[in-house]
């Protein structure tokens, strides 16, 4: 049997990570891997996470399974963070998942279970795991225009034109905030226009919100998602705690589905629990419990929000510094979009050849499509990157 397996294409980001490790240059810069790093290059454990874990170790008296959907307190706490106090409790189903990727996978499985003929629409570009999972599941897919390479912003007219082609029952994946890989985001007014179009066309939004708190703040980053949920009868939301709580390895995520009515809630919840059972039985609990403790304890929550705000402002400062450094070097504001983007990522607009030149000549590692992780920079490396960008002729 195993002799029939064929080699799989290597993951480009993992290959980039391996190449970076093998590079012996002292001044190399890693802008490829999609994790937050502080100024020292580390991904620290947040203070509130440490405190919650200490409490958990002292008080937890069992490691028995929770339930197929995970701890209800986690679903309640995280759904409130994402959707607010006004979330539609009477029609909101939720299950814990192994990370945001697990929530995406379970959400796509839910779509396939409910409507196997539905087309899943993706922004062009999008996070590579979106199309990879869809293709593996054998689901129909299509794309809509999103990123304007000329301006570094959203091609909103192109997006809306393409989404006029969605059919009733299709699913449209939207990035809740901090679009990966471009960093270009919809305005709240644009969210309203997209919501009206999807409601009119009878399509279902599938919102991937993995960076809440990394863009314009915890509340502002969720505003588009909340507006969408209020406007449409059905929606699917995949939330991740990896970035904003810094618990990547704990694999903590939540899949939510807003059912069309309270009567359909039990069926929807049951289907999601069944998918959990079939894929991994019971979801992991440690990270989910830590998050629940933080969100339900006033002191822990305040400390978490303060540290998360420091992280957000630090990335914004790096964006502004890089845009300013490039402005000084090229004599124009054509890289100003870098300061306007939000979250960890920006797409620079460099060709694969220019990306390779930056790696070869300057030790700057970014994904071949020129997606770069702003959090991989620090005060010392910002001017180095600006020099590399100019030297490569971007």
Question: What pLDDT, on the 0 to 100 scale, is given for residue 14?
Answer: 83
Which residues touch 182 (CB under 8 Å, ≥6 apart)? 125, 146, 147, 341, 345, 346, 347, 371
Do 259 and 234 form a contact (C-beta atoms < 8 A)?
Answer: yes
| Whether CATH 3.40.640.10 fits 65-296 | yes
Question: What pLDDT, on the 0 to 100 scale, is given for residue 70?
Answer: 98
Residues 159-199 pLDDT 10s: 999 999 999 999 999 999 999 999 999 999 999 999 999 99
Listed residue (363, 339, 345, 356) closest to 392, CA to CA: 356
Question: What pLDDT, on the 0 to 100 scale, is given for residue 82?
Answer: 98
Residues 62-87 pLDDT 10s: 999 999 999 999 999 999 999 999 99
Distance from chain centroid for Cα 346: 13
Phi-psi region of 370 (alpha: psi -120 to 50; beta: other; left: phi over 0): left
Do 31 and 372 form a contact (C-beta atoms < 8 A)?
Answer: yes
Residues 314-349 pLDDT 10s: 999 999 999 999 999 999 999 999 999 999 999 999
Whole-angstrom distance, CA of residue 292 vs CA of residue 220: 21
Residue matched to tokens 């706490």:
77
Listed residue (1, 13, 87, 9) closest to 345, CA to CA: 13
242-260: b (≥16 Cβ within 10 Å) or e: bbbbbbbebbbbbbbbbbe
Quickly state the pLDDT bin for 41 (edges 50, 70, 90). Answer: confident
Given the residues 127, 257, 339, 386, select the one marked as catalytic. Answer: 127
Listed residue (125, 100, 10) closest to 370, CA to CA: 125
Residue spans per domain, the chain: 11-45+301-391, 65-296
Does 210 participate in catalysis according to the annotation? yes
Which residues touch 17 (CB under 8 Å, ≥6 apart)? 30, 32, 33
Residue 33 pLDDT > 90: no
Listed residue (337, 372, 369) closest to 350, CA to CA: 369
Given the residues 155, 208, 221, 369, select the one marked as catalytic. Answer: 208
Fold: same for 11-45+301-391 and 65-296: no
Instruction: Return the CATH architecture of domain 11-45+301-391.
Output: Alpha-Beta Complex (3.90)
Does 208 participate in catalysis according to the annotation? yes
Whole-angstrom distance, CA of residue 376 vs CA of residue 394: 20
Question: What pLDDT, on the 0 to 100 scale, is given for residue 39?
Answer: 86
209-237: b (≥16 Cβ within 10 Å) or e: bbbbbbbbbbeebbbbbbbbbbbbebbbb
Residue matched to tokens 């959707």:
83
Whole-angstrom distance, CA of residue 109 vs CA of residue 122: 16
Residue 12 pLDDT > 90: no
Quickly state the pLDDT bin for 15 (edges 50, 70, 90). Answer: confident
First to last CA, the chain: 49
Give the pLDDT mean for 219-226: 98
Does 243 participate in catalysis according to the annotation? yes
Question: What pLDDT, on the 0 to 100 scale, is given for residue 254?
Answer: 98
Distance from chain centroid for Cα 269: 24
Pair type for strands 153-154 and 171-175? unpaired
Give the pLDDT mean for 32-36: 89
Residue 274 pLDDT > 90: yes
Task: Report the percentage of the chain scoring pLDDT > 90.
Answer: 96
Does 170 participate in catalysis according to the annotation? no
Listed residue (326, 350, 355) closest to 338, CA to CA: 326
Do 362 and 384 form a contact (C-beta atoms < 8 A)?
Answer: yes
Do 230 and 201 form a contact (C-beta atoms < 8 A)?
Answer: no
Given the residues 96, 243, 350, 388, select the one marked as catalytic. Answer: 243
Do 343 and 183 form a contact (C-beta atoms < 8 A)?
Answer: yes
Do 221 and 215 form a contact (C-beta atoms < 8 A)?
Answer: yes
Residue 10 pLDDT > 90: no
Whole-angstrom distance, CA of residue 28 vs CA of residue 159: 37
Please give the mean pLDDT across all residues of the chain: 96
Whole-angstrom distance, CA of residue 322 vs CA of residue 366: 15
Q: Is the pTM of this model over 0.85?
A: yes
Given the residues 69, 75, 171, 210, select the one marked as catalytic. Answer: 210
């Amino acid at each position: 049997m195993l002799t029939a397996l064929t080699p799989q294409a290597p993951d480009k980001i993992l290959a980039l990570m391996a190449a970076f490790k093998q590079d012996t240059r002292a001044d190399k810069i890693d802008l490829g891997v999609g994790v937050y790093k502080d100024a020292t290059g580390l991904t620290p454990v947040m203070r509130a996470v440490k405190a919650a874990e200490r409490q958990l170790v002292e008080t937890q008296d069992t490691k028995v399974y929770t339930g197929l959907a995970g701890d209800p307190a986690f679903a309640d706490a995280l759904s409130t963070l994402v959707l607010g106090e006004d979330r539609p409790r009477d029609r909101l189903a939720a299950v814990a998942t192994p990370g945001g990727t697990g929530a995406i996978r379970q959400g796509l499985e839910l779509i396939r279970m409910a409507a196997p003929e539905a087309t899943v629409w993706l922004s062009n570009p999008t996070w590579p795991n979106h199309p990879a999972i869809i293709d593996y599941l054998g689901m129909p897919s299509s794309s809509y225009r999103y990123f304007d390479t000329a301006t570094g912003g959203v091609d909103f007219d192109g997006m809306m034109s393409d989404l006029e082609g969605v059919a009733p029952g299709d699913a449209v994946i939207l990035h809740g905030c901090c679009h990966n890989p471009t960093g270009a985001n919809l305005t709240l007014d644009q969210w309203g226009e997209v919501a009206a179009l999807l409601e009119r066309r009878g399509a279902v939004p599938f919102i991937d919100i993995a960076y809440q708190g990394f863009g314009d703040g915890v509340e502002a980053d969720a505003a588009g998602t909340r507006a969408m949920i209020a406007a449409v009868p059905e929606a699917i939301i995949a939330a991740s705690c990896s970035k904003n709580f810094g618990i990547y390895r704990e694999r903590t995520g939540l899949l939510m589905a807003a059912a069309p009515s309270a009567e359909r809630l039990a069926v929807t919840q049951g289907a999601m629990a069944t998918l959990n059972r079939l894929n991994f039985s019971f979801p992991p609990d440690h990270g989910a419990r830590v998050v629940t403790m933080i969100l339900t304890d006033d002191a822990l929550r305040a400390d978490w929000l303060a540290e998360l705000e420091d992280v957000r402002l630090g990335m914004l400062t790096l964006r502004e510094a890089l845009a300013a450094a490039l402005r000084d070097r090229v004599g124009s504001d054509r890289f100003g979009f870098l300061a306007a983007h939000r979250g960890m990522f920006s797409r620079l607009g460099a060709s694969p050849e220019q990306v390779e030149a930056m790696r070869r000549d300057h030790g700057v590692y970014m994904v071949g499509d020129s997606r770069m992780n702003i959090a991989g920079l620090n005060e010392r490396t910002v001017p180095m990157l600006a020099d590399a960008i100019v030297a490569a002729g971007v």
